[in-house]
A and B are shown apart, each in its own frame.
Chain A
Amino acid sequence: MNNSDLAQILIRAVEEADSSDRLLDAVQELAAAGIEESVPTLIAALGYNNPGAAVAAVDGLIAIGEAAVPSLLELIDDYNYSARAWAIRALAGIGDVRALDTLLEAAKTDFSLSVRRAAARGLGTLRLHQLPAEKVESVQTQVLEALLLISQDPEWIVRYAAVTSLETLAIAIAVTLPDQASRITNQLQQLLDNDADVGVRTRVEFAQQKIQQQQHQEMFAPKRKLQETEVEVPHRGGGRR
């Protein structure tokens, strides 16, 4: 049996599932097969109001990866916010930069907090190194502006998600845009001092630790490189024996 036949059988099982348990099993099997043809069916499964099936479908879409991105962007459901949140989660998990505009828009303007949350997270997981080098800085600036805004969202979980992405971005721009880094550290400190929510403040503390650890490593990194070189020379010289 080739992949296409297998996909047809597994897709039919999803379509014919007549209980939430059967649906869950069928979507799990389809997702595990990781066949590109199943993408539309997996996306449809995000809208069945079955959280278990949706988790499986998201995992399946992430495993398929970049090939699922065009369909995800095209089939995103404007009328079902829970399906939309799962689709954004899948895009965030894949991290393909083609999702940038969708994530920016969703994080800033979607009325559903679960969509804004997933999109805010996705802005931190995008693989920006896929971009041509000359574009990285402008996209990072765009993401930074968006995250500074989203970290003031009225919902705690959206601010929490924005903090996770500010953490990632702070570490990334320490190299590319070091003069912008203070904007992130200032915003994190603002949140730590003023946020009404203990969960958000605790996540900020954790982010600050991570960023500091990274800076610490970078400070000592040149030294380590030097040491490695020093070690390497005598080693190479070992050939003189």
Chain B
Amino acid sequence: MNSSPQKFEDLSPTGNSGDGESLTVEQAIANLESADLGLRFYAAWWLGRFRICEAAAVTGLIKALEDEADRTPEGGYPLRRNAARALGKLGDRQAVSPLIACLDCSDFYVREAAAQSLEMLGDPVCIPALIKLLQVGLQGEELISQPDLSQPYEAILEALGALRATECVPLVKPFLEHPIELVQYAAARAMYQLTQETVYGERLVKALAGEKLQLRRAVLADLGAIGYLPAADAIAETLAENSLKLISLKGLLEHQVNHTATNTLSDGAIKVINLMDSLL
């Protein structure tokens, strides 16, 4: 099938992109309509990766959200997925309505990419559509009895938290009990953002002591995203790569700087700096 976008994400723009070809902006936009489906898929990824915010790129990618040509054997839409991911990175709000429409797509990964990109675009107009999708897993204000895996709950919960959709606290809360740990963490992260109650931050701190490296990595990202200062020491001490701890602590530092009115560095900021220095 198509090459994984993650594989490319790790490369720096100046690095040799190996088998990936180098494109010009014009070529990439034109390639979105190439007869070669592989070229379309790659062009959509490329426009997002290099944040080509030109109007023609945005229009081309929005059009690609309705692509019917590129299908997986399971019925997925690879080009739509990449176009949806790219549109989140380009920051053009014209994409909001078309992405909301993608939340109804039959392909799980298109819905997931759309939710992630709607979070990045930050327009609260998408909140009702996200809530509708969240409710698939709920019966009233409880999880439906059979654990539901049909929706990208992790992405939906993160988006609702980031968009400060405080009205949906009762709908987010049940997901703290979801059988999938990553979904629980996304719910805790969102609950913290929506309520600022430390109990949810502490839940994430506790998860840093968990067994699985993959999960600890995810929690590092969550704590960085919410800038939860009391987690600083636990972040520095958890068993994970220093690179990920540093990114997480940077989230805490930015939060300190952005939420402190004075011109001098707060004690919290200095504490985080000292921990970061020790991890370099």
Contacts and interface: CB of A to CB of B under 8 A. Distances in A.
A202 interface: yes
Contact of A202 (B247, B257, B277, B280): B257
B239 A55 contact: yes
Contact of A164 (B15, B254, B270, B280): B280
Contacts of A161: 280
The interface size bin for chain A is 20 to 34
B270 A160 contact: no
A157 B243 contact: yes
A132 interface: no
Given A121-B280, A160-B276, A164-B277, A202 B269 contact: yes
B253 A202 contact: yes
A149 B246 CA distance: 22
Interface in B208-262: 213, 239-243, 246-247, 250, 253-254, 257-258
A209 B274 CA distance: 14
A59 to B, nearest CB: 12
Interface string A168-192: 0000000000000000000000000
Contacts of B242: 51, 85, 89, 114
Contacts of B241: 51, 82, 114
B74 to A, nearest CB: 32
A111 interface: yes
Interface string B90-128: 000000000000000000000000000000000000000
B129 interface: no
Given A157-B243, A164-B277, A206 B270 contact: yes
Given A24-B239, A52-B239, A164-B277, A199 B253 contact: yes
Given A51-B213, A121-B280, A209-B265, A114 B12 contact: no
A164 B15 CA distance: 26
B53 interface: no
A161 B246 CA distance: 11
B265 A202 contact: yes
Interface centre among A52, A82, A155, A203 (most CB of B within 10 A): A203
Interface string A84-96: 0100010010000
A198 interface: yes
A211 interface: no
B14 interface: yes
B240 to A, nearest CB: 5
A154 interface: yes
Given A51-B213, A154-B14, A161-B280, A203 B273 contact: yes
A77 interface: no
Contact of A117 (B12, B15, B280): B280
Nearest to B244: A51
Contacts of B254: 198-199, 202
A205 interface: yes
Contacts of A117: 243, 280
A114 B15 CA distance: 16
A51 B212 CA distance: 12
A209 B265 CA distance: 10
Contacts of A203: 273, 276
Nearest to B273: A206
A69 interface: no
Contacts of B276: 160, 199, 203
Contacts of B270: 206
Contacts of B257: 198, 202
Contacts of B246: 157
A111 B273 contact: no
Interface of B: 12, 14-15, 213, 239-243, 246-247, 250, 253-254, 257-258, 265, 269-270, 273, 276-277, 280
30 contacts: A24-B239, A51-B239, A51-B241, A51-B242, A55-B239, A92-B280, A111-B15, A114-B241, A114-B242, A117-B243, A117-B280, A121-B277, A121-B280, A157-B243, A157-B247, A157-B280, A161-B280, A164-B277, A164-B280, A198-B253, A199-B253, A199-B254, A199-B276, A202-B254, A202-B257, A202-B273, A203-B276, A205-B265, A206-B273, A209-B265
Name the 8 nearest CB pairs between A and B, nearest first. Answer: A52-B239, A121-B280, A199-B250, A161-B280, A198-B254, A51-B241, A114-B243, A51-B240
